[in-house]
Amino acid sequence: MAPVRVAIGGISHESSTFATVPTTLTDFEQRHLAAGEGLLARFSGTRTAIGGFLDAAREGDFEVVPTIAASATPGGPVTAEATRVLVERLTEGLRGALAAGPVTGVLLDLHGAMVSELDDDGEGFILRAVREVVGPDLPVLVDLDLHGNVTQEMVDLATVTIAYDEYPHIDPYDRGHELGLLLARIVRDEVKPATALVKIPIIAGLQRQYTHAEPMLGVKRLAHEIEREPGMLAVSYLPGFAWADIPPTGFSVIATSDGDAVRAREAAERLARFVWDRRGEFVVRPVPVEEAVRRAMAASAGPVVLADIGDNPGGGTPADGTTLLDALLRLGATRAALAPLRDPEAVTEASAAGEGARISLRLGGKTDPFHGEPLAVSGRVVRITDGRFVHTGPMSTGISINLGPTAVLALDGQDGGEVEVVVTSHRYQPTDLGIFRAQGIEPTDRQILAVKSSVHFRAAFEPIARDIIEVDTPGLTSPHLDNLEFRRLTRPIYPFDPEMTWHP
């Protein structure tokens, strides 16, 4: 048998159509845009989907041809220019691979919720371009984030589509590895995947998508049960990304059987009915801001983690929301730390003042009108850093993070209160304790840790938290979805149309 040669790559973005700042090529360069040998160097040994592809390839003795891997922090739709450049670089890599010898298959790490200025269905756009190069028959296996808003076209263009099982996403490596092993079985003619997609009309806030509690725990269990049945290859559930005002937004189930399309459809429908029956449990009920801060201050022991769920840059927000910081200062919280707050102007001012200096400035609330006003604050510059650290926790282990120039400020609150704030130049969702530790703040020593994150923070912070409170802050990832003006969503959809009926 000829040696197995596999092209790997990925373009990944979660796009909020409500975010006011579009996502450009520079945003990808800032997070990561690696090609060829640089891709291998960056991802070998990491707990990422591409790290999983690489290990599966090594175990299966495949030759790997790297193309490009690009990812940007969630934000507004990807510009036409960035889409063209990235897709061109990916297809160029594939053409190069084909020119150098026969290619047996393609492994792609995509997201599923990328909206491009060129196409609502970013992944459909990418996969169409890939198929133009590799033809209709070559196995193209795709992994998605479970926040993907899946389309029939994506699933049709891919040979197999699977998604992360876990939110927080602690399993991209395992899914990448699984996909690599499945490709090996396909090229050895052991299995012939048949896939079915069922779209469920539910739009779900992020907090109840957490896969270690109900309702998602039950969804995950049933999916795994079905997946283990003889003849089934994979079952995925994607609650989707609500902040995309496009027709495909909603909950998806994808089932893949070995050669039996009817079987795949039945499996997907069974899981979809289970999800639909629990639709009411996907509605999020966060705690009002002042009540949350008072509870955290009154707790007998810390750290109490306050999740600033309205301003989660992982969902495309600016990360400069001030509502929670304002409440912490006004109510006189102490031994409190907040991260991150993106404000490059403030970092420049703090750097100019220097470590140890007293400073007064306007902080945050500068990007859009949805995340609070700039705050007039005073305090001390504790530390200036380059904002670089490496993830050591359970999410994206081994990946290096660049917050840009970063300042730790200790801000004066009411009644002698003090709140430390990690002020960054770039946006970042705090998914690793390194966000505090790399800035000299030991998170286990604090009473209150405020983090701009919806759910992902739980992977690193739950083990050290005495309590976690989901705070009802305003912003573009607030779970009050009915405050957003949707125009293009497919209706009816639950919970906007609560009386609707549906069956797969």
> Judged by CB under 5 A, which stretch of 34-42, 140-148, 349-357, 380-388 contacts Zn ion?
140-148
> Judged by CB under 5 A, which stretch of 139-147, 447-455, 464-472, 477-485 contacts Zn ion?
139-147
Phi-psi category of residue 45: left, alpha or beta, with phi > 0 → left and psi -120 to 50 → alpha: left
* Both tokens assigned to 90: 């990916």
Between CA 426 and CA 498 the distance in angstroms is 39
- Cβ 395 to Zn ion, closest distance in Å? 11
- Cβ 481 to Zn ion, closest distance in Å? 17
- Cβ 483 to Zn ion, closest distance in Å? 22
Phi-psi category of residue 416: left, alpha or beta, with phi > 0 → left and psi -120 to 50 → alpha: left
DSSP symbol at 247: T
13 binds Zn ion (CB under 5 A): no
- Cβ 243 to Zn ion, closest distance in Å? 12
| CA angle, residues 273, 279, 280, in degrees to nearest 5 | 150
* Both tokens assigned to 156: 């049709």
Between CA 265 and CA 254 the distance in angstroms is 9
Query: How far does CA 437 lie from the centroid of its chain?
Result: 22
- Cβ 147 to Zn ion, closest distance in Å? 4
- Cβ 169 to Zn ion, closest distance in Å? 6
Task: Name which of 27 and 145 has its Cβ closer to Zn ion.
Answer: 145
DSSP symbol at 274: H
> Which residues make beta-bridge pairs with 424?
342
Task: Name which of 18 and 62 has its Cβ closer to Zn ion.
Answer: 18
147 binds Zn ion (CB under 5 A): yes
- Cβ 149 to Zn ion, closest distance in Å? 11
> Judged by CB under 5 A, which stretch of 146-154, 184-192, 248-256, 475-483 contacts Zn ion?
146-154
- Cβ 145 to Zn ion, closest distance in Å? 4
Task: Name which of 115 and 184 has its Cβ closer to Zn ion.
Answer: 115
Q: Choose among 251, 201, 284: nearest CA to 480.
A: 284
Between CA 144 and CA 120 the distance in angstroms is 16
Contact with Zn ion (CB under 5 A) among 27, 145, 432, 472:
145
Task: Name which of 172 and 364 has its Cβ closer to Zn ion.
Answer: 172
Name the residue with the smallest CB distance to Zn ion.
147
Between CA 13 and CA 253 the distance in angstroms is 20
> Judged by CB under 5 A, which stretch of 42-50, 143-151, 215-223, 478-486 contacts Zn ion?
143-151
Task: Name which of 148 and 318 has its Cβ closer to Zn ion.
Answer: 148
Task: Name which of 5 and 13 has its Cβ closer to Zn ion.
Answer: 13
* Both tokens assigned to 467: 């309590």
Q: Which residue has the tokens 């290096």?
A: 400
Sign, CA torsion 197/202/205/207: negative
Task: Name which of 74 and 303 has its Cβ closer to Zn ion.
Answer: 74
- Cβ 174 to Zn ion, closest distance in Å? 15
Q: How many chain residues interact with Zn ion (CB under 5 A)? A: 2
Task: Name which of 164 and 436 has its Cβ closer to Zn ion.
Answer: 164
Q: Do 313 and 241 form a contact (C-beta atoms < 8 A)?
A: no
3-state SS, residue 93: helix
Task: Name which of 205 and 443 has its Cβ closer to Zn ion.
Answer: 205
Binding site for Zn ion (CB under 5 A): 145, 147
